[in-house]
Structure 1
Amino acid sequence: MLGEQTLADRSIGAIIAETRNLSADQVERILSHQRTHGVRFGEAAIALGFASADDVMFALAQQFHYPYVLGDEGKLNPELVVLNQPFGVQAESVRAIRSQLMMRLFNDAQPRRAVAVISPDVGDGKTFFAANLAVALAQLGGRTLLVDADMRSPRLHQVFGLDNKVGLSGILSGRAESQVIRQIPSVPSLFVLPVGATPPNPVELVERPAFGLLIRELVAKFDHVVVDTPAAQLGSDAAVIAARSGAALVVARRNSSRLQALAGMLADVADSPAVMVGAVINDHQ
């Protein structure tokens, strides 16, 4: 029955009509305009003021199984540009980096690894990039996990609007309950593991064998694992997390990140088993 169909199984017109709650009379007017002018349903709906270009893009996205958030739901956090502005310059840049990672890291020719997103200083845009990279990877359809391992100043729970009572710190200290990994409703293939309670000993927790064992288990269960980390200026956490993850991706801010701090961080990672897969220059102000 029609009511049992998913949005992806329905026509563009049906999706737009449902999304905009169009009446039967409005749909008939759109169809009449479509026949008269020889245009698509979406174009006719826009011409008559019954739909917007965003409505049409949303309908197309549903048919192609492409996670896309429409209207106010997508504005929960403006940092998620890949969801809020999926066809903007920033989103395209993230997807370009995703393509490079798929070729260099997430492929059958490489050992399974997580990728730790690291940066030298606070404010470099590391969490912003990690969140959007995870969304972009999830949009490919593979199960993607975003781990918040920044146990000094965690933000991913805020970015995705999640409760932060339990998470990574509880797992590593043996106090976590079930359901610490949360699925993101607007992106069905995306899951987030928040930090949970901020511990007094973050470096010791990630240096324990339990963290490495956890990463290996997560890499085996998910197609892509992205790990957010504290700024390197705050301690040795980033280098340790990168070593346990197996791969590292550097984020630096143009005209802000200090060369000496960047060089020091890279030297620390070079002495670890982590593979350096690339660097991203963040020029967003």
Structure 2
Amino acid sequence: MSDLKEPLHYASSKPVDAQTTKPSAGLHDRSIGAIIAETRNLSADQVERVLQYQRERGIRFGEAAVALGYANAEDVLEALSKQFHYPYAASERKSRSPELVALNQPFSSQAEVFRGIRSQIMMRLYREGEPRRALAIISPDTMDGKSYFTANLAVTLAQLGGRTLLVDADLRRPRQHEIFDVANQAGLSSILSGRSEPRVIQQVEGMNSLFVLPVGAVPPNPVELLERPAFGMLMRELAGKFDHVVVDTSASLYGADASIVASRCGAALVLARQDRSRVLALQELTDSLDGINTTLLGTVMNQY
């Protein structure tokens, strides 16, 4: 257990504490016009032309700036996101993490679906007076979209403002480091094998409240690592340090990995894929949770 006696190390552009999730002073007081002018480096003359156009037509600053060609619709959405402290990915970030629809397209119908699922989870999992629990996302097969779903769910939880950690516990086919474009030299496998590594928990670029713990090196003995008491201790420690902890897992077809992770988390959500997941496989997966200290929140059908 020596690995858990050492403090967890974070990779971040600034210290990871409660301050990282608070909006900058005066952020909400800045106007959309001021944000657009700063983002697009508008000159004083250009700002005056926009203001004049705005007054003449009785429209908003953003609409006037777009009409005059000084900004585009994405600039306006980004300015709104900054004003309300709502994470919104820059264009360069979108190309590096195209699967993060909740971050890249936060006002899309797909992102709205994730917010709806988030609301259901919040009502069922986070109840006053109950201890915090991590949430394992489990599915019967590969290609169910589990890693994609887990990543976007983590983004929507972080958009609430609370410190959110995504743990990649898929020790067989990890993908979260690819989805979030973070380093994967060290991670969960090194912690569970007793090696203290620096910078294992990484802050997601552009989201002060979202962190990722990748797998690191893929181990030859995933089940044995997950069954070690160290994993349960780690999950309890993380649940106490973060407001939300979401855990990606291996497909249950590989063995007991998913049910082991779910038992250490305390709560699980099953993901099935429309026209692909077999009823028998889903039943076997849910049956594997019987008799262990895990709350099954429900099943989500992935239609994408």
Smaller-chain TM-score bracket: over 0.9
Matched, 1:66 2:86: yes
Q: CA deviation at 1:90?
A: 1.0
Q: Conserved in 2, the CA contact under 8 Å of 1:20 and 1:51? A: yes
CA distance in structure 2 between the partners assigned to 1:144 and 1:25 by the alignment:
43
> Using a 3 Å threshold, how does the CA distance of structure 1 residues 74 and 5 change in structure 2: closer, same or farther?
farther
1:7 Cα offset (Å): 5.2
CA displacement at 1:6 relative to structure 2:
6.6
Once residues 179 and 27 of structure 2 are traced to their aligned partners in structure 1, the CA distance between those partners, rounded to angstroms, is 27
Deviation of the 1:111 alpha carbon: 2.6
Match of 1:169 in 2: 189
Cα deviation for residue 87 of structure 1 reads: 1.0
Q: 5 Å matches for 1:104-119?
A: 104-119=124-139
1:203 aligns with 2:228: no
Gaps of 5+ in 2: 1-23
Structure-2-length-normalised TM-score: 0.89
Distance 1:276 1:114 in 2: 12
Give the TM-score, by structure 1 length.
Answer: 0.95
Q: Is the 8 A contact 1:145 1:222 kept in 2?
A: yes
Q: Which runs of 4+ in 1 moved over 3 A?
A: 4-9
1:277 aligns to what SS in structure 2?
strand
Aligned mates of 1:208, 1:70 — CA distance in 2: 40
Q: Please, which of 28, 33, 36 is the counterpart of residue 16 of structure 1?
A: 36
The aligned counterpart of 1:47 is 67
In 1, Cα distance between equivalents of 2:103 and 2:70: 23
The one-letter code sitting in structure 2 at the alignment partner of 1:163 is A
Q: Please give the per-residue CA displacement for 1:152-210, whole angstroms capped at 9, x wherever unaligned.
A: 00000001111111000000011131221001121110010000110000001111110
Measured against aligned partners, the alpha-carbon deviations of 1:86-125 in whole angstroms (never above 9, x if no partner) come to: 1111100000000011111023243310000000000000
Gaps of 5+ in 1: none
Cα gap change, 1:8 to 1:111, in 2 (>3 Å) = same
Which letter maps to 1:269? L
- Measure how far apart 1:72 and its partner are: 2.6
Summarize the Cα distance change of 1:5–1:219 in structure 2 as closer, same or farther, 3 Å threshold: closer
Aligned mates of 2:277, 2:188 — CA distance in 1: 28
> Partner of 1:147: helix, strand, or coil?
strand
* Amino acid across the alignment from 1:168: L
AA aligned to 2:260 is V
Q: Distance in 1 between matches of 2:137 and 2:183?
A: 22
1:53-106 Cα distance to aligned partner (Å, 9 max, x none): 221111111111111113232332111000111111110000000001111102
What percentage of aligned pairs have identical amino acids? 62
Q: Contact 1:147–1:193 at 8 Å: present in 2 too? A: yes
* Distance in structure 2 (CA, Å) of the matches to 1:20 and 1:180: 36
Mapped partners of 2:221, 2:153: distance in 1: 28
Greater relative contact order (Cα 8 A, min sep 6): structure 1 or 2? 2
